[in-house]
C-alpha cells in the first residue's frame, strides 16, 4: 500500500468479498474470487452517495468543475468552492481516492503474488490463471492512473507521481517520479493485453479492448499523440459508434453498444443516479412524491450547450421534470442519464457505469490528430468530430475548421457534452491547462465562479492522515501539512 495508515485501515476492514493469505488463495479459483473483490472495490456504494472509486470519480469530476451546481441541499462548500485542505477533503465530502484505489491495488497485488503457485483443480484452470493475471494487471494500471489524475500535476517525467505498488507492503515510501510511474502503468497494460479475453462478450470484466481504451486515455494525458490516435483507432475499428436508434439503449442498459468495459450496477450495489436525482416515492394514493433533497443538478452552462431540438443526447442526459417544477423550492432541471428504471421503481437510479466508450475514442483521436497538425480534411480531427456529431445530432451539417486551436476548442466543448457525468470534466480542464469558468447562475458565490488555470487546487492534497502513517510521502504544492 501507499501508506501505512491505508494498509492498516484495510487490514481492519471485515468485508464479505475479501480473501487473503496463503490458504485463502490456494487455488486458481480462490484468486479469481479475490479479483472479483478488486472489481467490487471500484464500485461499491451506499444507497444515496457513492463511496466506491468509480462513483466517486463521476461525482468529483462534476463537483470540482462547471458540470453541476448545487440542488436544494448544499453542504459541500469545501470541494465545490475549492476551499479544501489536507484535513477535510477526505472527511467532509469523502473524496478519499487514496483509500479507494489502493484498496483495489492491494487486492490485485495479492492475486499476482499468489497466482503463479496457485493449485489448478481442472484443466481449464490454466487458461483461467492467465486471464486472471491479465485482469489483475489491467486493474493495477487503471487504479494507478486514476490516482495520478487526483493527486498529480500534468504529466512531466520529472514531476511527482504517486507510489506505484507492485506488492502488498507496509513499508513507508516516498512518491515515484512520473517517468517511472507511467512506465509501470504502460508495462502493466502491455503485459495484460495478450492475457485478456480477446472479445467483448463479457463487458463486466476487463478484456483486450478495454486495455486498448486505457492505453489511449493514458497516452492522451501523456500528450503522446501518435500512441493516443493509434490506440483510439484500434478501439474504433473494433466497436463502431451507436446509431441514433441504438444510443438511448446505452443509458437504459438495454444494449452494450460502444462499451468495452462497464461496472455492473444492481440495487444492492447502489443507486449511482441518486446524487443527481434523489429518490422518488409514492404516497398512499399512488401519486409520486418528490425526493426530500436533490444534491446536484446540471449547470446552466452545460444545459445551454445542447441543441435541445436536434441533439439526441439532450433528452437522454437531461430533463426538465414537471413533477419537480410543481414543488416549491425544488429544482426541476435534473440529470436523466442515470435514471435506471424510472421514478419510484425498484431500480430507480440504478445504471451500469460505462468506463470506456467509442465516443471517447473518437474525441481522443480528434484531439490527437489536431495536435499532430491533421485538423482538417480526410482522416483528420475534423472528420472524427463530424462523425461523432453526425451520430448524435439530427440534420447535422459537417463543419470545417480553419485551425488546430479552433478544432481543439470544439473537441473540448464536445467532450463537455458527450461525456457529461462520466468522470472527465475536471481532469479535462486540468490537463489542457484551462480554468474552471462557471456562469454566475452556477456559482454559489462570486469567489467560486472561476478556478484559474493551473491553480494548485486542480491537484488534491494528500490527506494528513495518510502523511501521519507514511511520513515519507510528499505533500502537494500549496497545502500545508500539520
Mean pLDDT of the region 249-272: 87
| Confidence label for 8 from pLDDT (cuts 50, 70 and 90) | very low
> How does DSSP classify residue 205?
S
160/43 same-domain check: yes
Single pTM value for the model: 0.93
* pLDDT per position as a tens digit, 362-415: 999 999 999 999 999 999 999 999 999 999 999 999 999 999 999 999 999 999
Domain count, the chain: 2
| Confidence label for 443 from pLDDT (cuts 50, 70 and 90) | very high
- Alpha-carbon span 265 to 39, nearest angstrom: 12
2/151 same-domain check: yes
55/148 same-domain check: yes
167/82 same-domain check: yes
Q: Is residue 279 part of a domain?
A: yes
Instruction: Using the 3D structure, point to which of 288, 316, 351 is the last residue of a domain.
Output: 351
Residue 152 confidence (pLDDT): 98
* pLDDT per position as a tens digit, 280-311: 999 999 999 999 999 999 999 999 999 999 99
Instruction: Give percent of the chain above pLDDT 70.
Output: 91
Residue 49 has pLDDT above 80, yes or no: no
* pLDDT per position as a tens digit, 317-360: 999 999 999 999 999 999 999 999 989 999 999 999 999 999 99
Residue 69 confidence (pLDDT): 97
Q: Is residue 248 part of a domain?
A: no
CATH of the domain at 437: 1.25.40.390
Residue 340 confidence (pLDDT): 92
Q: Is residue 412 part of a domain?
A: no
Q: Is residue 383 part of a domain?
A: no
Residue 130 confidence (pLDDT): 98
Q: Using N-to-C axis directions, what is the helix angle for 404-418 and 381-392, rounded to 10°?
A: 30
Q: Is residue 202 part of a domain?
A: no
Residue 43 confidence (pLDDT): 72
> How does DSSP classify residue 442?
G
335/443 same-domain check: no
Instruction: Using the 3D structure, point to which of 292, 322, 351 is the last residue of a domain.
Output: 351
Q: Is residue 399 part of a domain?
A: no
331/434 same-domain check: no
311/188 same-domain check: no
DSSP secondary structure string for all residues of 361-390: HHHHHHHHHHHTT--SSTTSHHHHHHHHHH
Query: What does pLDDT average to over the chain?
Result: 91
| Helix H or strand E encompassing 94 | none
Instruction: Using the 3D structure, point to which of 314, 333, 351 is the last residue of a domain.
Output: 351
Q: Is residue 216 part of a domain?
A: no
186/46 same-domain check: yes
Q: Which domain holds residue 324?
A: 274-351
Cα–Cα separations (whole angstroms), residue 187 to 100, 149, 183, 191, 326: 22, 18, 6, 6, 55
38/120 same-domain check: yes
Of residues 168 and 19, the one with the higher pLDDT is 168
- Alpha-carbon span 143 to 35, nearest angstrom: 14
Of residues 84 and 93, the one with the higher pLDDT is 84
Residue 50 confidence (pLDDT): 42
181/322 same-domain check: no
Q: Is residue 163 part of a domain?
A: yes
Cell 463502431: give the residue.
240
170/85 same-domain check: yes
Amino acid at each position: 500500500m501507499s501508506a501505512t495508515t491505508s494498509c492498516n485501515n484495510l487490514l481492519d476492514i471485515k468485508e464479505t468479498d475479501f480473501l487473503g493469505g496463503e490458504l485463502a488463495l490456494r487455488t486458481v479459483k480462490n484468486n479469481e474470487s479475490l479479483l472479483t473483490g478488486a472489481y467490487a472495490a471500484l464500485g461499491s456504494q451506499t444507497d444515496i452517495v457513492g463511496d466506491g472509486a468509480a462513483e466517486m470519480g463521476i461525482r468529483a469530476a462534476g463537483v470540482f468543475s462547471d458540470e453541476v451546481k448545487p440542488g436544494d441541499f448544499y453542504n459541500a462548500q469545501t470541494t465545490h468552492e475549492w476551499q479544501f485542505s489536507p484535513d477535510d477533503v477526505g472527511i467532509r465530502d469523502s473524496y478519499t481516492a487514496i483509500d479507494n484505489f489502493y484498496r483495489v491495488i492491494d487486492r490485485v497485488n495479492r492475486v499476482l503474488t499468489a497466482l503463479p503457485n496457485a493449485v489448478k483443480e481442472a484443466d481449464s484452470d490454466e487458461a483461467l490463471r492467465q486471464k486472471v493475471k491479465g485482469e489483475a494487471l489491467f486493474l493495477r494500471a487503471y487504479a494507478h492512473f486514476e490516482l495520478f489524475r487526483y493527486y498529480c500535476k500534468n504529466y512531466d517525467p520529472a514531476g511527482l507521481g504517486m507510489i506505484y505498488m507492485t506488492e502488498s507492503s507496509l513499508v513507508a515510501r516516498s512518491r515515484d517520479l512520473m517517468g517511472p510511474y507511467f512506465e509501470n502503468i504502460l508495462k502493466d497494460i502491455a503485459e495484460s493485453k495478450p492475457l485478456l479475453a480477446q472479445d467483448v462478450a463479457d463487458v463486466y470484466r476487463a478484456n483486450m479492448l478495454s486495455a486498448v481504451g486505457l492505453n489511449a486515455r493514458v497516452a492522451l494525458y501523456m500528450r503522446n499523440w501518435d500512441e493516443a490516435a493509434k490506440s483510439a483507432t484500434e478501439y474504433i475499428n473494433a466497436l463502431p459508434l451507436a446509431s441514433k436508434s441504438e444510443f438511448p439503449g446505452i443509458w437504459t442498459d438495454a444494449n452494450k453498444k460502444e462499451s468495452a468495459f462497464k461496472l455492473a450496477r444492481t440495487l444492492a450495489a447502489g443507486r449511482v443516479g441518486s446524487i443527481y436525482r434523489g429518490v422518488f416515492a409514492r404516497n398512499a394514493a399512488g401519486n409520486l412524491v418528490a425526493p426530500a433533497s436533490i444534491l446536484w443538478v446540471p449547470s446552466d452552462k452545460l444545459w445551454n450547450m445542447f441543441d435541445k431540438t436536434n441533439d439526441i443526447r439532450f433528452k437522454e442526459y437531461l430533463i426538465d421534470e414537471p413533477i419537480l417544477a410543481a414543488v416549491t423550492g425544488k429544482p426541476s432541471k435534473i440529470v436523466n442519464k442515470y435514471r435506471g428504471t424510472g421514478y419510484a421503481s425498484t431500480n430507480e437510479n440504478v445504471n451500469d457505469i460505462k468506463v470506456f466508450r467509442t465516443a471517447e475514442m473518437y474525441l481522443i483521436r480528434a484531439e490527437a490528430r489536431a495536435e499532430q497538425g491533421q485538423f482538417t480534411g480526410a482522416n483528420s480531427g475534423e472528420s472524427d468530430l463530424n462523425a461523432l456529431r453526425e451520430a448524435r445530432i439530427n440534420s447535422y451539417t459537417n463543419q470545417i475548421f480553419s485551425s488546430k486551436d479552433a478544432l481543439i476548442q470544439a473537441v473540448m466543448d464536445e467532450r463537455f457534452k458527450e461525456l457529461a457525468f462520466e468522470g472527465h470534466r475536471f481532469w479535462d480542464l486540468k490537463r489542457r491547462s484551462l480554468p474552471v469558468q462557471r456562469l454566475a447562475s452556477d456559482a454559489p458565490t462570486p469567489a467560486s465562479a472561476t478556478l484559474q488555470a493551473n491553480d494548485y487546487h486542480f491537484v488534491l492534497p494528500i490527506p494528513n492522515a495518510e502523511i501521519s502513517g507514511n511520513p515519507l510521502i510528499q505533500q502537494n504544492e500549496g497545502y500545508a501539512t500539520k
